[in-house]
Structure 1
């Protein structure tokens, strides 16, 4: 057994004061008034015991911390209409997204569509089928030619932690967007849809402690991306002490003796 608040024992100094100002009768001549005092004294001792918070240690248990919220930013700008991959980069990205979520370990996912502006298609959810359905049925909208990564990162900041950002794009982020991601301590993972390497986006992912995967027609690319995300949650397990609180027992008895003392005082 362990006492979490031993400082509460200092309250026991009031007991000698109690005997000093209230001279109690002997057990053979207990009056109603002396019984009331005894009940109050017992209640006081029990309440001090409750305040000390006695606990029983049951060892340690493993606790998984909240899963990482995965925020997906899908570039829908006109630049994604390029046909580096069939039928075009945007449709290819949609298809890869539907495969990507199948490899996740039920992390909460939110899908944002972005060009110059950011559009919330789905809030955080583990219902991946619904998110994929919404993505397949989005209407055609007039978009800007290039995406605004800075605006995307500012929007992601509104989501609760812990979180990571996964970007499906074929464009290059600005230095302003990189600085914003660094200031927010945001891990950025990039699925780059292009036939050539992009050093700037590789640097973006590296500086934000994220990663980059280049698109291909094989499933290995999307498996590698999902493995990066799943590996984050595997580390989020901590050990804590399993303690059983006992304070409510003396607390209940203390309140009971207070009622008894008040009841005795009315007789």
Structure 2
């Protein structure tokens, strides 16, 4: 066994011994007045006596000091190979990044893209730089993804007063982070600034052998810059509109990187991720001491001894009552928890196997027990998959949740259920409600389809009304005609006339359908296939209370 921080023992043991001496020699008022023999007779012997408590207290204190000194058992030195690719993110924090052509603004949108990209990348060292007129380091190159994401999420940009976008300073600072790395990749999240030429930046990137990629966070139409409750204006008091500066594409192309325009979906960061996956990762051999930390064991024993000192030891009868009560609570909760867990697990397995009937059976059990928003939602999804759309609507309506994401999925699926029942007005209503919470390409797709289907039905009903009117007018005309004999009716001429009339009417109707029909049958089949493919469902996942375990987000 080896002690790594032995100075803790020297510094804390001496004052602890002095304290022990003072407490042990100090007598209470009763001990000063009465004789020790009389006090023994008067006291009720329950629990530990004073001297035992003092001994346990200081023994626990010593164990805690010893734990702080980090005792370890060292097994030996192990050589570990690591494969890491260094990537530095440079975030533009100039005033133009406060424009709101991306929600909530360009800057916050860019931060979200960095977070999503970091979660997507593997075997990468991350570093971060923020820049405007000047650049400064947010995070050096690190393997700690959680710490890096914390810094990005909490990057405070309220103090931004700097004008201009200095890409040269961003490249300079990024190079200091890379140090002696062979493969250097810098990804800049910016609107491009207002420079026309990037020749100096290209020269500097080539000099340091840095591949510069850009995620362009700005639209071609542009947007004004909000400032002090209004918008930034030029010398002539005209509102300044900042647009995407496409000149920055030359920096990416000539330095060996890629330039991607920001999108609402994750297509943009997928392109950057696939580009970075081709990077040759540097193999490093590091020597690490394989050791076992003993501090938790000493600390655990110390806490146990402290519990004996500060809490009176219960009697045998108390022990029995506590044991019976604890056993009853644990057994009831364990049974309920185990059965729920088994039902949820089976339901999920059957659902993933597309055996929706069996999944429905288990989801019903979970919903009856839990009666939670999540359980109702899962049950509604199972009803939807078994084509019981009315039942699905019933349980989707039972989902009451403050979670906006779950609420959006519920509204989306309600729209799908009404769509399948051919109640297109209702479907449109719920799709629009879902889109108010968050813009989603699948919901937008389904909304457009529902609108087209509604138009088709209205056109068909109009055509039917026209046909009925034509039939009535033709019947009136026949009544007014002169009566003819049966032989005359059988003649070929009138037959030919009727045929010719019918054929001409059919041709007109066909032409009208081609012009007016908003969606063809063939198109309708394609759209219906797509909507079935894009139906989003959410499986209930048991939340865990254990820290340090990553939990998949359920939606």
Aligned pair partner of 1:187 in 211, 216, 227: 211
Per the TM alignment, residue 178 of structure 1 is displaced from its structure 2 partner at its CA by: 2.1
CA offset digits 1:36-65 (Å, max 9, x no partner): xxxxxxxxxxxxxxxxxxxxxxxxxxxx99
Counterpart of 2:381 in structure 1 is none
Distance 1:141 1:198 in 2: 25
SS in 1 for 2:192: coil
Q: Do the aligned partners of 2:129 and 2:173 also contact (CA within 8 Å) in 1? A: no
Q: Do the aligned partners of 2:93 and 2:160 also contact (CA within 8 Å) in 1? A: no
Per the TM alignment, residue 199 of structure 1 is displaced from its structure 2 partner at its CA by: 3.5
The normalised TM-score by structure 1 is 0.60
Aligned length: 173
SS in 2 for 1:203: helix
The correspondence of residues 163-242 of structure 1 with structure 2, limited to 5 A, is 163-172=184-193, 174-196=198-220, 198-233=245-280
Distance 2:128 2:168 in 1: 17
Which deviates further from its counterpart, 163-172 or 206-215?
Answer: 163-172
SS in 1 for 2:214: strand
SS in 2 for 1:108: strand
Per the TM alignment, residue 129 of structure 1 is displaced from its structure 2 partner at its CA by: 1.9
Distance 1:129 1:147 in 2: 29
CA offset digits 1:68-125 (Å, max 9, x no partner): 3101101111110111201100000011110010111121010111111112111111
Q: Do the aligned partners of 2:192 and 2:247 also contact (CA within 8 Å) in 1? A: no
The normalised TM-score by structure 2 is 0.30
Counterpart of 2:135 in structure 1 is 118
Aligned pair partner of 1:154 in 142, 159, 172: 172
Higher relative contact order structure (alpha carbons within 8 Å, sequence separation ≥ 6)? 1
The correspondence of residues 20-31 of structure 1 with structure 2, limited to 5 A, is none
Q: Do the aligned partners of 1:71 and 1:112 also contact (CA within 8 Å) in 2? A: yes
Closer/same/farther in 2, CA of residues 134 and 77 from structure 1, 3 Å limit: same
Distance 1:203 1:193 in 2: 16
Q: What are the ranges of 5 or more consecutive residues in structure 2 without an aligned counterpart? A: 1-80, 221-243, 284-555
Aligned pair partner of 1:137 in 154, 159, 179: 154
Distance 2:108 2:246 in 1: 24
Closer/same/farther in 2, CA of residues 176 and 143 from structure 1, 3 Å limit: farther
Counterpart of 2:359 in structure 1 is none
Distance 1:156 1:143 in 2: 22
Root-mean-square deviation over aligned CA pairs: 2.0
Distance 2:202 2:114 in 1: 23
Q: Do the aligned partners of 1:79 and 1:171 also contact (CA within 8 Å) in 2? A: no
Q: Compare CA radii of gyration and give the structure with the larger one.
A: 2
Q: What are the ranges of 5 or more consecutive residues in structure 1 without an aligned counterpart? A: 1-63, 238-267
Counterpart of 2:95 in structure 1 is 78
Distance 1:151 1:109 in 2: 19
Distance 1:97 1:121 in 2: 13
Per the TM alignment, residue 66 of structure 1 is displaced from its structure 2 partner at its CA by: 5.5
